[in-house]
Amino acid sequence: MHQLTLAEIARGLADKKFSSEELTKVLLARIAQLDPQLNSFISLTEDLALTQAKAADARRANGESGALLGAPIAHKDLFCTQGIRTSCGSKMLDNFKAPYDATVVAKLAAAGAVTLGKTNMDEFAMGSANESSYYGAVKNPWNLEHVPGGSSGGSAAAVAARLLPAATGTDTGGSIRQPAALTNLTGLKPTYGRVSRWGMIAYASSLDQGGPMARTAEDCAIMLQGMAGFDPNDSTSIDEPVPDYSASLNGSLQGLRIGVPKEYFSAGLDPRIAELIHNSVKELEKLGAVIKEISLPNMQHAIPAYYVIAPAEASSNLSRFDGVRFGYRCEDPKNLEDLYKRSRGEGFGPEVQRRIMVGAYALSAGYYDAYYLKAQKIRRLIKNDFMAAFNEVDIILGPTTPNPAWKLGAKNSDPVAAYLEDVYTITANLAGLPGLSMPAGFVDGLPVGVQLLAPYFQEGRLLNVAHQYQLNTDWHTRTPTGF
| Per CB under 6 A, 171 contacts ligand GLN | yes
Find the binder of ligand GLN among 148, 153, 174, 212 (CB under 6 A).
Answer: 174
**Binding flag, residue 126, ligand GLN (CB under 6 A):** yes
User: Of 45 and 175, which CB lies nearer to ligand GLN in the complex structure?
Assistant: 175
The residue count for the chain: 483
Is 252 assigned a catalytic role? no
Residue at 123: amino acid letter: E
What is the closest distance, in whole angstroms, from the C-beta atom of residue 102 to ligand GLN in the complex?
16
119 binding ligand GLN? (CB under 6 A): no
To the nearest whole angstrom, how small is the minimum distance from the Cβ of residue 310 to ligand GLN? Answer: 5
Determine the interface stretch with ligand GLN among 29-37, 124-132, 214-222, 469-477 (rule: CB under 6 A): 124-132
| Distances, alpha carbon 299 to alpha carbons 13, 295, 296, 383, 463, in Å | 46, 9, 6, 10, 24
Residue 401 found at the interface with ligand GLN (CB under 6 A): no
Task: Please give the sequence-ordered ranges of beta strands (E in DSSP) within 315-456, or none if there are none.
Answer: 395-399, 435-443, 446-453
Of 473, 405, 465, nearest to 441 by C-alpha is 473
Among 112, 173, 199, 261, interactor with ligand GLN by CB under 6 A: 173
Candidate residues 19, 86, 151, 400; the one interacting with ligand GLN per rule CB under 6 A: 151
Residue 262: other Cβ atoms inside 10 A: 12
Number of helices and strands in the chain (H, E):
15, 11
Cα–Cα dist 258/293, whole Å: 8
Judge contact between 198 and 231, C-beta under 8 A.
yes
Least Å distance, CB 302 to ligand GLN, is: 12
The region of 85-93, 95-103, 169-177, 237-245 touching ligand GLN under the rule CB under 6 A is 169-177
* CA atoms of 419 and 196, how far apart (whole Å): 27
Residues 189-228 that bind ligand GLN (CB under 6 A): 203
Active site residue 175: yes
- Work out whether 73 is an interface residue with ligand GLN (CB under 6 A): no
Residues 86 to 115 in contact with ligand GLN, rule: CB under 6 A: none
Q: How many CB atoms lie within 10 A of CB 403?
A: 17
Nearest approach in angstroms of CB 478 to ligand GLN is 25
CB–CB of 308/371 below 8 Å? yes
| Residue 2 vs 146, nearer CB to ligand GLN | 146
| Options 68, 125, 276, 294; binder of ligand GLN; rule CB under 6 A | 125
172 binds ligand GLN (CB under 6 A): yes
**CB-wise, 171 or 394, nearer to ligand GLN?**
171
CB of 293 to ligand GLN, least distance (A): 28
Q: Per CB under 6 A, which of residues 407..426 are in contact with ligand GLN?
A: 422
Partners of 374 in the β-ladder: none
Q: Whose Cβ is closer to ligand GLN: residue 303's or residue 389's?
A: 303
**Strand stretches in 98-220, DSSP E:** 114-119, 166-170, 186-189, 210-214
Q: d(Cα 35, Cα 37) in Å, to the nearest integer?
A: 5
Q: What angle do CA 261, 266, 272 make, to 5 degrees?
A: 100
Helix (H) / strand (E) containing 260 = strand 257-261
Query: What is the enclosing helix (H) or strand (E) of 7?
Result: helix 6-14
131 contacts ligand GLN (rule: CB under 6 A): no
**Residue 175 binding ligand GLN, by CB under 6 A:** yes
Q: How far is the CB of 177 from ligand GLN (least distance, A)?
A: 9
Contacts of 91-94 spanning 24+ positions with Cβ under 8 A? 91/134, 91/328, 91/346, 91/347, 91/348, 91/349, 92/321, 92/327, 92/328, 92/344, 92/347, 92/348, 93/201, 93/321, 93/326, 93/327, 93/328, 94/134, 94/328
User: How many Å apart are CA 126 and CA 116, to the nearest integer?
Assistant: 24
Q: Is the peptide bond before 151 cis (omega within 30 degrees of 0)?
A: yes
Per CB under 6 A, 347 contacts ligand GLN: no
**Which is nearer to ligand GLN, 160 or 314 (by Cβ)?**
314
Known catalytic residue at 343 = no
Which C-beta is closer to ligand GLN: that of 75 or that of 162? Answer: 75
Segment contacting ligand GLN (CB under 6 A): 29-37, 166-174, 369-377, 446-454?
A: 166-174
Please choose, out of 34-42, 171-179, 263-271, 445-453, the segment that lies near ligand GLN by the rule CB under 6 A: 171-179
Binding to ligand GLN (CB under 6 A): which residues in 307-346? 310
Identity (one letter) of the amino acid at 456? Answer: Y
Angstrom distance (rounded) from CA 319 to CA 174:
24
CB of 46 to ligand GLN, least distance (A): 28
Of 43, 90, 128, 175, the active-site residue reads 175
Residue 61 burial by CB count (10 A; 0-12/13-18/19+): exposed, middle or buried? exposed
**Which one from 151, 155, 246, 343 is the annotated catalytic residue?**
151
Q: Which of 76, 118, 189, 411 is catalytic?
A: 76
Residue 284 or 303 having the CB closest to ligand GLN:
303
We find the least distance from the C-beta atom of residue 197 to ligand GLN, in angstroms, to be: 13
Q: Which residues are near ligand GLN by CB under 6 A?
A: 125-128, 151, 171-175, 203, 310, 422
Active site residues: 76, 151, 175
